[in-house]
């Protein structure tokens, strides 16, 4: 397989075609070697517009959805970013290339080990990986951007509270078959603005289909 050609086709024929037009996002998808982040045996699908199973009932998002996440969040140099759901670390690497400082959490320690190796191989440095259950607790913020890579059945306002004023949250809310992908912007204090972006279907976070176990 000509990986350079396949990567270019992924960006131009899939990601750009789904209205991902941000030049920085398109460039980072050209630069990060996605084939190094897929599980062994799935290299031939690295650039296909399909979810790739990574074990434990979880999957990598499609390239088009990854592009939409990055475009919606607009991570910029100097941003402090939180990713909820590390997986193999591909989106983590993209966020790190765009923003510089990323904290990524996952409930599965074996995912974090794989992601750590993948990220180190890609030459990205300022990434902190933590084993945490996002439905129970979050790292100390605030964060300029938060990407939630699994769906949640009920919107969790703690994610907004972890944002700095002006911070952005990408999250997919609801139950299948159609879920609502949203960008939520914190305007300050307890105020935020939520914008529906598109309908999609995304596997839930572990424990994401359960009512949040917290009180205000």
- What are the tens digits of pLDDT across the range 72-97? 999 999 999 999 999 999 999 999 99
Q: What integer is the mean pLDDT of 105-130? A: 91
> Is residue 98 domain-resident?
yes
Q: What is the reported pTM?
A: 0.93
- pLDDT (0 to 100) of residue 210: 54
Q: What is the largest CA-CA distance in the chain?
A: 54
Predicted confidence at residue 189, as pLDDT, reads 77
Q: Are 161 and 169 in contact (CB under 8 A)?
A: no
Residue span of the structural domain in which 91 resides = 3-200
Domain count, the chain: 1
Residue 200: strand pairing partners: 179
CATH number for the domain that contains residue 140: 3.40.50.150
Residue 211 lies in a domain: no
Residue pLDDT, tens place only, 127-154: 999 999 999 999 998 999 999 999 999 8
133 contacts 206 by C-beta, under 8 angstroms: yes
Q: Is residue 210 part of a domain?
A: no
Contact 101, 81 (CB under 8 A): yes
Distance, CA of 111 to CA of 150 (rounded, Å) = 14
88, 114 in Cβ contact below 8 A? yes
Q: Decide if 99 is inside a domain.
A: yes
Domain assignment present for residue 207? The answer is no
Q: What is the dihedral of CA 102, 78, 163, 89, to 10 degrees?
A: -20
- Tell whether 206 is covered by a domain: no
Is the model's pLDDT at 212 over the cut of 70?
no
Give the DSSP letter string of 144-169. Answer: EEEEE-SBBSS--THHHHTEEEEEEE
The answer to whether the beta carbons of residues 48 and 107 sit under 8 Å apart is: no
Domain for residue 214, yes or no?
Answer: no
H-run or E-run covering 113: helix 109-121
Confidence of residue 121 (pLDDT cuts 50, 70, 90): confident
Chain segment 22-42, per-residue pLDDT in tens:
999 999 999 999 999 999 999
- Asked if residue 135 has a cis previous peptide bond (ω within 30° of 0), the answer is no
Residue 93 inside a domain? The answer is yes
Q: What is the mean pLDDT of the chain?
A: 92
């Amino acid at each position: 397989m000509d990986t350079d050609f396949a990567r270019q086709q992924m960006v131009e024929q899939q990601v750009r075609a789904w209205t991902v037009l941000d030049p920085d996002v398109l460039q980072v998808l050209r630069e990060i070697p996605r084939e190094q982040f897929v599980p062994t045996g799935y290299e031939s699908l690295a650039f296909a517009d399909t979810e790739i199973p990574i074990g434990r009932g979880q999957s990598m998002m499609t390239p088009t959805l990854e592009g939409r996440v990055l475009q919606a969040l607009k991570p910029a140099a100097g941003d402090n970013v939180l990713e909820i759901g590390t997986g193999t670390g591909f989106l983590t690497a993209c966020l790190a290339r765009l923003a510089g400082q990323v904290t990524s959490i996952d409930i599965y320690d074996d995912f974090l080990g794989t992601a750590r190796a993948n990220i180190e191989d890609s030459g990205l440095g300022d990434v902190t990986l933590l084993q945490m259950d996002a439905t129970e607790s979050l790292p100390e913020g605030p964060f300029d951007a938060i990407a939630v890579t699994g769906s949640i059945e009920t919107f969790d306002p703690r994610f907004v509270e972890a944002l700095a004023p002006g911070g952005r949250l990408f999250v997919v809310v609801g139950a299948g078959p159609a879920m609502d992908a949203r960008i939520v912007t914190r305007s300050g204090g307890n105020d935020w603005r939520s914008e529906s972006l598109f309908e999609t279907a995304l596997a839930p976070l572990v424990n994401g289909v359960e009512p949040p176990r917290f009180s205000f």
